[in-house]
Amino acid sequence: MTVPAVLIGVDIVAADRLARAAARGGATFTRHLTTVAERDLSPGTATFSVKESFIKAVGGRPPGFTWHDFEAVREPPPGWTGELLDEAAAELTAATGLTLTGGAAYTLSGACRDAARLRLAGPVAGAARWGSGDGLLVSLAVVYVHRKDARCP
């Protein structure tokens, strides 16, 4: 399989740390991290870790960054993206012992979309996988050039 240029980010965090932050922040924490449209699609408490992996993929938090720069969406990512995520998730599973069972496609907007476009020519989109166990939350994100008519061999 030939894979187009992609940006990859990984985040590993203590699950209890995120659970405490979510409990402390309540609805404000949720509104800060997620858009209304993605609340039923996102990975719940793992959202912070997933979006952190996207931040790492685009090279950090650019000026103008918001957590809403990444939004989970219903439509699936291209097939080759799933294959790439499967391969990278298998490597993370081997390294951490945790299986990445959750997943979603993401749109990128604002400052993070612009940062990704500087590194990848064209419109960008993303996809993520996540999993938890043994007190850890692991997430993996890929950002790629998104063309509706593009096919990857």
pLDDT tens track for 62-84: 999 999 999 999 888 888 888 99
What residue has token string 């990512």? 77
Query: What is the per-residue pLDDT for 4?
Result: 63
Domain count, the chain: 1
Q: Is residue 82 part of a domain?
A: yes
Q: Per residue in 80-93, pLDDT tens? A: 888 999 999 999 89
Per-residue pLDDT at 150 exceeds 60 = no
Q: Is residue 65 part of a domain?
A: yes
Q: Is residue 53 part of a domain?
A: yes
Q: Is residue 152 part of a domain?
A: no
Q: Is residue 150 part of a domain?
A: no
Cα–Cα distance for residue pair 126/59, rounded to 1 Å: 14
Query: What is the per-residue pLDDT for 18?
Result: 85
Q: Is residue 151 part of a domain?
A: no
CATH code, 134:
3.90.470.20
Which structural domain, as residue segments, surrounds residue 107?
Answer: 6-145
Query: What is the per-residue pLDDT for 120?
Result: 93
Q: Is residue 78 part of a domain?
A: yes
The pTM of this model reads 0.89
Bridge partners of residue 138, in order along the sequence: 12, 131
